[in-house]
Structure 1
């Protein structure tokens, strides 16, 4: 198996359809959450909507960087979710997330394997490989939070 295929499969696993590592995936966890629960906060914990936006922000930004060679996202904006006030707002975010997850997996699959070892935009960002692995690890981290938030709702 080529590295790009391996990485694309790992992205799909955590974001879209896998069960191996966490026995779930991001899509499975958010697809049936109603919008009121998605925006509900428990204490000072981020909401499910906020975490979904956060991961989607990076997927979208990296997809754009793959195309134009410019990294135009900034961590300080990664939680700047516009208010969600309806099921339509939430469903649009979920659809955008799923679409970007699929596009990101496909973009990684389309990368030439030699490109994985090249510098990503600037030396301070390390390689394409490191950034793609970072997306996977970061997504599992926040997937765990989403799962725990949903369990906390069940305790209320």
Structure 2
């Protein structure tokens, strides 16, 4: 399996269907979260909806670059979640995440091996490999937070 294929597989594992590293993934963890739970604040932690938006924001931004566009995302906007006030709005956010995650993985698979060592947009961002690896690691970090917040929400409801 080529390096891009391995990276795409690792990315799908954390977002869509894997169990290897964390014995769970975003899709599994978010499948039973209601919109009310998603927007419920636990102490000073981000909400599940905010973390979901945050990860999607970066995935969509990198997808844009992989499709030949500019890097238009800014860290300062990565938590600017519009209000979620219904199950439909929550489902829309989730569906965008699943769709763009699969698009992201597919675009990674299409990269030639040599592309991974090329500069990603600007030298200050490092290589394509660094950014793809970073997206995977970033996703696992927030997956852990979501898992813990779900547990806290359940324990607070009892």
Q: Give structure 2 stretches of 5+ with no counterpart.
A: none
User: Is 1:92 the equivalent of 2:92?
Assistant: yes
Kept in 2, the 8 Å contact 1:31–1:94? The answer is no
In the alignment of these two chains, the number of paired residues is: 156
Query: Per-residue deviation at 1:69?
Result: 4.2
> What pairs with 1:48-127 in structure 2 (closer than 5 Å)?
48-127=48-127
Following TM superposition, the consecutive aligned residue runs of length 4 or more in structure 1 with deviations greater than 6 angstroms are none
Gaps of 5+ in 1: none
Q: Distance in 2 between matches of 1:70 and 1:81?
A: 22
Residues 49-91 of structure 1, C-alpha deviation per residue, up to 9 Å, x if partnerless? 0000000000000000112342110000000000000000000
Q: Distance in 2 between matches of 1:154 and 1:33?
A: 11
Distance (whole Å) between structure 2 residues aligned to residue 113 and residue 39 of structure 1: 41
Structure 2: distance between partners of 1:106 and 1:66:
10
CA-atom RMSD in angstroms: 0.7
| Deviations 1:9-43 (CA, angstroms, capped at 9, x unpaired) | 00000000000100000111112211000000101
Quote the residue 1:14 is aligned against: 14
Aligned to 1:24: 24
Normalised by the length of structure 1, the TM-score is 0.98
TM (norm. structure 2) is 0.97
CA distance in structure 2 between the aligned counterparts of 1:151 and 1:32, rounded to whole angstroms: 12
Q: Is the 8 A contact 1:58 1:78 kept in 2?
A: yes
Q: Within 5 A, what are the aligned runs for 1:26-41? A: 26-41=26-41
**1:69 to 1:126, Cα distance in 2 relative to 1, 3 A:** farther
